[in-house]
Structure 1
Amino acid sequence: MDDGNVSLDRMRTFVRVAQRGSLSAAARELGIGQSTVTRHINELEEALGVSLLGRTTRRVTLTEEGSQYHANCLQILRLVEQATEEARDARRVPVGVVRVSCTSALGVMHLARIIFAFQDEHPDIRIDLNLTDERIDLAREGVDVALRLGPVMDDAMKLVAIGASGRRLAGSRDYLASRGRPARPAELTNHNSIVMSNVAGSEHLLLSAPDGTRLMVPVSGTLRVDHGLAARAALAAGRGIAPAHLWLIQDLLDAGKLETVLDEYDLDAVPVSLLVVPERAGIARVRLLVDFLVDEIRKLPGITPHRSASG
């Protein structure tokens, strides 16, 4: 075993290959040749005496040993980066990369703009923004901060409760003019509903009546979508009625393109929170971004700040 080949550079190369599933993609991100990536992996495997990756013509995958080594490498590299950043923090110079994950619609409509404003104040901090509606493994993907809608079950992460996102039932003015406005929840069954195919239980609406009664209303329609921006476009195009976050449609409501219906019936608000990798929470640039995001996201339409949040 040649311990000299077990270096941080080779670990970084291995982690990037594992995360991207491709030698060429890792090479592009690292700014090195694919032959160098291959050599790093070969030298690492030779030094360890185990096979870390399974290679096919299209993709590389982790072996059982590779999966465990990947987890350990992530820990080691995070500790090294944390030590470096804490030393930099002592100079009060917040620099470096923060990796952020967010749902696509919220990211496109609001988070990107918020990040632009943050970088205007902190031009030396680089942001790697990943937009996906999948619940990714933050540690495995090397993400520092994730903005999440909905309940969070990940006890391994530090949770920063931002508030709750209000939703309303809405439809376009033209659709409601042609099909009529529902006067009672039961009438929704006679309307075309835009259904989110990637949201469990979206074929039923749970509404709270003014007297506190909970109503479960089945809905259906001719269009199913798996993206919030597609639902927004469908609403604006008059394809039906749908529940929507106010941050997604408030501008369309203000412009008179959409109207809310059954306003006396409430939809449950959705928790909004940030997940922060605990080992990264104390790093200055991460802390600055988290504080900035909390303040700005609470200003979005329909976001009610968490009661215990102090700002």
Structure 2
Amino acid sequence: MDKLPVSLEHMRTFVRIAERGSLSAVARELNVGQSTVSRHLQELEEAVGVPLLSRTTRRVTLTDEGSRYHANCVQILRLVEQAGDEARATRSAAAGTVRLSCTAAFGILHVTRLIFAFQDRHPEIAVDLSLTDERIDLVREGVDIALRLAPLADSAMKLRALGHSHRILVASPDYLARHGAPATPEALAGHEAIRMSNVAGSEMLSVQAPDGTRHQVPFVGRFRANHGLAVREAVLAGRGIAASHHWLVDDLVSSGRLVPLLPGYTLRSVPLSMLIVPERAGIVRVRLLIDDLVAQIGRLPGITPHAT
């Protein structure tokens, strides 16, 4: 009896199920019915002759045979994609979709504009931008590249240090007219602080004096948010003082709508890094976006590029 044919579409569906751990999640991702995803998986298992996934009521996991088959499928699909890239390269035009994840406020205020300029130069490359401040599994979410503002632990991803994001203390003229400006780091304890709720340790602020002395001061208040744009709006509305990334408020400071505080004092900067899925790094369109972002991000306000 002849074996059933195995299509690349079936392989892609299987790989995404294995990485997402959910048939329904893959159905939503592919914009198809869950019955279609189930059928692809069933037909693939019939074609290879072994069960590839173990199903429970909550999750699907790879069998031993499925784990080996998944690794081979990833390699096959990568080769198919690279072959397409090389064929397109003969007409000097990269094409296809790159999936980029980025810290939310940074992505909205700055990275979107970098992507627009990139696409003007490469009109056949689509970019799918996902904005989140949460740590995500790049492979599971189908992401090629991620930009992250935070110290990063060891990862299976390729890590490229882009530089550091500098922070400043800012408040609105209205807030300062009502409460006065702090003259020393210790005076911050008597002010309303606007903080990011998803940044560990933000209730204490480390401030370095011009002579190098470091001050640890309480930094608390009645408003916290888990999104940088909400912090931006709160400080602009005169709700308190924020320890903000320079790129988040640069335009407001330049226009005089916000005022920098404690000149000469500095806050700890935050590492800015790029995570890259190793298997995707060699794809032409992914590499083009990586190189473009590396070149452009270091020019943004408050970003000190990583020394090369």
Tell me the residue number matched to 2:106: 106
Partners of 1:64 and 1:18 in 2: CA distance: 7
Corresponding residue for 1:63?
A: 61
Partner of 2:270: 270
Once residues 268 and 3 of structure 2 are traced to their aligned partners in structure 1, the CA distance between those partners, rounded to angstroms, is 56
Distance in 1, matches of 2:234 and 2:103, equals: 19
Counterpart in 1 of 2:184? 184
Q: How far did 1:208 drift?
A: 0.9
CA contact (8 A) 2:207 2:215 kept: yes
Q: Which residue of 1 aligns with 2:138?
A: 138
**CA deviations over 1:100-155 (Å, ceiling 9, x no partner):** 11011111111111111111111100111111111112222221111121223345
- On the 8 A contact 1:209/1:264 being kept in 2, the answer is yes
Superimposed CA distance per residue, residues 168-188 of structure 1 (whole angstroms, 9 cap, x where no aligned partner): 011111111101100011111
- Deviation of residue 22 (structure 1)? 5.8
Letter in 2 for 1:109: L
What residue in structure 2 maps to residue 204 of structure 1?
204
CA distance in 2, matches of 1:53, 1:108: 39
User: CA offset at residue 294 of structure 1?
Assistant: 1.7
Q: Counterpart of 1:65 in structure 2: which amino acid?
A: T
8 Å Cα contact 1:86-1:283 kept in structure 2: no
Q: What amino acid does structure 2 have at the position aligned with 1:295? A: A
Q: Indicate whether 1:49 and 2:48 are aligned.
A: no
Normalising by structure 1, what TM-score?
0.87
Asked whether the 8 Å contact 2:203–2:218 carries over to 1, the reply is yes
Q: 1:240 to 1:294 in 2, by over 3 A?
A: same
The answer on whether the counterparts of 1:15 and 1:70 sit within 8 Å (CA) in structure 2 is: no
Q: Which moved more, 1:298-307 or 1:32-41?
A: 32-41
Q: CA deviation at 1:270?
A: 1.4
Structure 1 unaligned residues grouped into runs of 5+? none
What per-residue deviation string (whole Å, max 9, x for no partner) do you get for residues 225-266 of structure 1?
A: 111111111111111111101110011111211111112211
Q: Which moved more, 1:43-52 or 1:279-288?
A: 43-52
User: Superposed, which structure 2 residues align to 1:69-218 within 5 Å?
Assistant: 72=71, 73-218=73-218
Higher mean C-alpha displacement, 30-39 vs 261-270: 30-39
**TM-superposition CA deviations, 1:3-56 (whole Å, max 9, x none):** 636543222223444566665553454354443222112333454325444346
In 2, the alpha carbon distance for the partners of 1:92 and 1:219 equals 54
Percent identical across equivalent pairs?
58
1:244 aligned residue: 244
| AA in 1 matched with 2:60 | L
Q: 2:103–2:133: 8 Å Cα contact kept in structure 1? A: yes
Q: 1:301 to 1:135 in 2, by over 3 A?
A: same
CA distance in 2, matches of 1:31, 1:298: 37
Structure 2 residue aligned with 1:257: 257
For residues 167 and 3 of structure 2, the distance between their equivalents in structure 1, rounded to whole angstroms, comes to 57
Task: Give me the whole-angstrom Cα distance separating, in 2, the residues matched to 1:3 and 1:170.
Answer: 68
Matches within 5 A, 1:19-30: 23=23, 26-27=26-27, 29-30=29-30
Return the letter of the residue paired with 1:147.
Answer: L
Structure 2 counterpart of 1:54, which letter? T
1: CA distance between counterparts of 2:167 and 2:97? 34
Q: Which moved more, 1:174-183 or 1:281-290?
A: 281-290
Provide the aligned length of Structure 1 versus Structure 2.
304
